[in-house]
A and B are shown apart, each in its own frame.
Chain A
Amino acid sequence: MIFKSDNLDALGRKRDRMKQPAQTLTAHRNEDEVSRRSFLAGAGVTAGGVMLETSLAASRALAEQKSNQEIIGPDAAPLTLRINGAIRNIAVPPHTTLAEALRGPLDLTGTKIGCDRGACSACTVWLDGVPVASCMILAIDVGERSVTTIEGLADGDKLHPVQASFIEHDAVQCGFCTPGLVMSCAALLARNPQPSLEDVKMATSGHLCRCGTYPHVFAATLAAAKANKG
């Protein structure tokens, strides 16, 4: 990975196991193989243990891929990201989070930063279709994964069914948490087209809405699922 210490564990010991092929690691991983970096990436996942697993494996494979690369930083370094289907080149210091990169140099301010510590989910975006807290992932760790933000959810002028349903059911008040909620609810419908109310509550469990619009969010998401079926 990028920093020198990345192949070392917390005590500075060489972490040889990280050099095994990613597939082997995925199949036979032990808890102590979780690096701090991959844990952070995994911890960004909004809900669902299955996705945590996927995200961990992906970031571990990525870490291995990059482990022999040159050291980057502390100054801004060039970075290529796949955002909403487009290739975007930016230059940011390595400590820049994905959320900061999106809102800053990429000018995609639809992604909001509420707490900047993975507690409010306002910054939720998709990495390869999986909802993650973009404030908990460094931009340089995104790698090949494709990023989908709220700006890339609609198909041109045609809103995503969840977006249309949020408008119809007034699942919006001040709107600051809305982009994150929409991303999580849309991801839920993608993996479970007919969710129950409990499923919706679980999928949005990390999202804080200070206006308290949760009931309308639940109704909007269930209605979008129903319309999809219909």
Chain B
Amino acid sequence: MAPKEPMRRDRFPSGIAGVSVGEIERQVPASEAPPLPPNDRLMVIGKRVLRINARAKVTGAARFTVDIKLAGMLHGRLLRSPHAHARIISIDSHAAERHPDVRAVHIITDNPVSRLALGCRLQARRAADTGAPFCASYRLSL
């Protein structure tokens, strides 16, 4: 048998706020914190609090991950096939690799049903047509 803990009797609010709140008396361990004072004497509990970063969010000042720019940061673009269950016949990423802004082209080849690769081929062709540096690539930020 554990040694008997000292107890005390105390009165606690009971019920649902706004419906009916009463009080009950019960026995609690002597170490139990005293009951909280009523809400109107509390600073935070039961009070409306403004979201700490709401102002930043409504003014556009909030910085999301996508808003961060670092010196020398590269942008990666993941390309997927526009066709579900497409079979990859071949991949030509030369146009992407030749572009002066493109630092690297990675093609996922270890996945036998890689849909990413077909997308890469299509995008590379498009890049060659327009000169737009947005193929399967990592490129310097603007």
Residues of A within 8 A of B (CB): 73-75, 92-93, 95, 103-105, 107-113, 149-151, 153-154, 159, 163, 166-168, 170, 172, 175-176, 178-179, 182
Query: With A167-B50, A167-B51 known to touch, is A178 a contact of B58 (CB < 8 Å)?
Result: yes
Bound form: Cα–Cα A159–B142 in Å: 31
Contacts of A108 on B, CB cut-off 8 Å? 60
Query: With A167-B50, A167-B55, A170-B54 known to touch, is A74 a contact of B131 (CB < 8 Å)?
Result: yes
Bound form: Cα–Cα A98–B56 in Å: 23
Quote the shortest CB–CB distance from B96 to chain A (angstroms): 15
> Which of the four size classes fits the interface of chain B?
20 to 34
Contacts of B130 on A, CB cut-off 8 Å? 74, 95
Query: Chain B: interface secondary structure?
Result: loop
Residue of A nearest to B54 (CB): A167
Residues B54 and A112 in contact, CB atoms below 8 Å apart: no
Quote the shortest CB–CB distance from B135 to chain A (angstroms): 13
Residues B59 and A163 in contact, CB atoms below 8 Å apart: yes
B85 lies within 8 A of chain A by Cβ:
no
Chain B residues numbered 90-140 whose CB sits less than 8 Å from any CB in chain A:
130-132
Q: What is the count of residue pairs linking A and B with beta-carbon distances less than 8 angstroms?
A: 71
Contacts of A172 on B, CB cut-off 8 Å? 51, 54, 57-58
Query: Chain A: interface secondary structure?
Result: loop
Bound form: Cα–Cα A153–B69 in Å: 24
Bound form: Cα–Cα A112–B65 in Å: 11
> Chain B 58-94, CB within 8 Å of chain A: the 1/0 string?
1111111011010000000000000000000000000
Residues B131 and A149 in contact, CB atoms below 8 Å apart: no
Quote the shortest CB–CB distance from B27 to chain A (angstroms): 41
Contacts of B132 on A, CB cut-off 8 Å? 74, 93, 95
Bound form: Cα–Cα A4–B113 in Å: 41
Residues A154 and B57 in contact, CB atoms below 8 Å apart: no
Quote the shortest CB–CB distance from A81 to chain B (angstroms): 15
Residues B51 and A150 in contact, CB atoms below 8 Å apart: no
Bound form: Cα–Cα A108–B130 in Å: 27
